[in-house]
Structure formats: structure tokens, C-alpha cells
Amino acid sequence: MALLEIKGLSAYYGQTKALHGVDFALDKGGITTLLGANGAGKTTTLRAICGMVRRDGDIRLDGQPINQMATEDIVRLGVAHVPEGRGTFVSLSVEENLKIASYGRRDKSGVPRDLDMVFTYFPRLKERLHQQAGTLSGGEQQMLAISRALMLGPRLMLLDEPSFGLAPLIVQEIFHIMRRINAEEGVSMLLVEQNATLALELSTTGYVLETGRVVMAGSSSDLKNDEGIRKSYLGY
Ligand code: ATP
């Protein structure tokens, strides 16, 4: 059964319609990627799922409709958003950022265990526990953003351009850890990426968005071999 199922999703910024009936599904335990040019509606799709933009259409998490729910309730159901720009509190320490992330949790007893889990994936954050988040490197800030999402105990992570602005080696390191988190913690992922090569390597399924509509869907390996995708997104 699909963990996330989306049918006829539209989204609006004021009078402007940014999504025009988007349909897709994400398998439990899977990694799905959304590809598309600038302005295609990838970020808006993530925002619509977690209730941060006015939307209509059908959004189901594990069969339960969430399209009428407020963001905080969607988070409580286990959907963690790692936004573009990372959304860390720059003037707070690494430790404070991680603790704030766990405030809304019901199972407080799980917090120390999850902190340990975060530090096994990101030992660098443990070394920088008392450092101000704003002084971390870009890669470390992305690690912190993913860790904050992990502290929510998520079933589904929505990742918006985790590679943005980072050097290739750091990007590889972060993608490797994302793969481990998916495999070892069973966290499903919906990934938005400009770096289509990396995104299709990590994911099993992909969808291509164009001006707020899904224009192509397939397994990541089929998409990688598609001539149109290669020319438009992979650059060869
Ligand atoms: P990018 O890769 O550039 O982030 P994207 O595929 O994520 O692109 P979105 O950011 O979802 O695209 O934008 C989809 C459409 O919605 C665009 O036409 C954009 O101009 C518009 N849009 C996005 N955010 C807002 C906003 N806050 N107010 C008004 N229009 C917006």
C-alpha cells in the first residue's frame, strides 16, 4: 500500500494557482524524487503536503486524508519537512536546535535514544554540540536540518534540495547517509532536487513536474535512460 497518495492536488498563492491537479504516490519505505525545472512546482508540492500553502485535492497518508489538517497535526502524524534553506535557528546551538525539534513529540522517553541515533549518522554534530548553528559549514547545516527532522521520529521526510550550494564531496556524504536512514530506520523520503543525476541514483521512483503538472512518471532507472530526461535534466 502507498504511504502517501496524492490525487488532483492544486495549490494557490493568493489568486495564483501553482499546482494544477498533481497525482502521484509514494511506496512505504521508498524514496521518490520530483524533478522539474525552476518554477515547476516542486517546492509547492512539498508545502502543500504539509499544509503550508492553500491547497485542494486528495492527500492521504497511510490511507488517512490529511488535506484538511493543520501543519502541526501533519507533523504529529510523522511527516517531517526539511525546507529549502534548511530552516535551522542560526543563533541557537546545535544542541538547542535538536532539542527544539523534539518539543512536540508525545513519546518524550524516545528523545535520548533518537539523539544517539542522530549522532551515529552525523558524528560531526556531536563534536559541535555547543557551536552556534549559524557558524556551521553549509554541509553541517544541512546535516543539522536532516537531524532536526529525524528528532520528530518521522515516517516520511520531505527533503527540499538537500544538495543546494554544497560541494560535491559533502553532497555524496549526505546522500549516502540519507540512503542509510531510509534503509536502517525505515523512513520513506520524498526528494526534490535540481541535481537529477544524484536524485535518480538515490530514488526508486520519479515524477517530472512541468508548470504544476506531472508530465512523466516511472522507475528511476527508466527515467535515467529516457532521452528527453537525459537532455533536459542530466545534461548529456
Ligand atoms: P525551484 O526549483 O526554482 O525552487 P520549484 O519547482 O520548486 O522551483 P515552486 O517554488 O514550487 O517551484 O514554484 C511554483 C510556482 O509558484 C512558480 O511559478 C512560483 O513563482 C510560484 N510561487 C512560489 N512561491 C510563491 C509565493 N510565495 N508567492 C507567489 N508565488 C509563488
pTM of the model: 0.94
Q: Assign 111 a pLDDT band (cuts: 50, 70, 90).
A: confident
First-to-last alpha carbon distance for the chain, in angstroms, is 36
pLDDT score of 32: 97
Domain boundaries, the chain: 2-88+155-234
Mean pLDDT throughout 195-200? 91
Q: What per-residue confidence (pLDDT) applies to 175? A: 96
Choose which residue among 34, 38, 43, 158 to substitute to test ligand 1 binding: the one with the highest number of ligand atoms within 8 A of its C-beta. 43
For residue 161, is pLDDT > 90? yes
Nearest CA to ligand 1 atom 10: 43
Distance CA 165, CA 168 (A): 9
The residue type of 74 is I
Distance 42 CA to ligand 1 centre (A): 8
Give 166 Cα–ligand 1 centroid separation in angstroms: 22
Banded pLDDT at 87 (limits 50, 70, 90): confident
For residues 63-81, one letter each, b for 16 or more C-beta atoms within 10 angstroms of the residue's C-beta and e for the rest, the string is eeebbebeeeebbeebbbb
Question: Taking 80 as the threshold, does the pLDDT of residue 98 lie above it?
Answer: yes
Chain centre to alpha carbon of residue 86: 11
For CA atoms 138, 144, 149, 155, the dihedral sign is positive
14 Cα–ligand 1 center, Å: 13
Q: Which helix (H) or strand (E) holds 48?
A: helix 42-49
Residue nearest to atom 14 of ligand 1 (CA): 41
| pLDDT at 107 (0 to 100) | 78
> What does the pLDDT average to over 186-215?
94
Which cell numbers hold the place of 84? 529549502
- Indicate the class that CATH gives domain 2-88+155-234: alpha beta
**E strand spans, the chain:** 2-13, 16-27, 31-36, 54-61, 64-65, 79-82, 156-160, 188-192, 205-210, 213-219
Residue 102 pLDDT more than 90?
A: no
Q: Which residues fall within 8 angstroms of residue 112, CB to CB, at 6 or more apart?
A: none
Cα 168 to middle of ligand 1, angstroms? 26
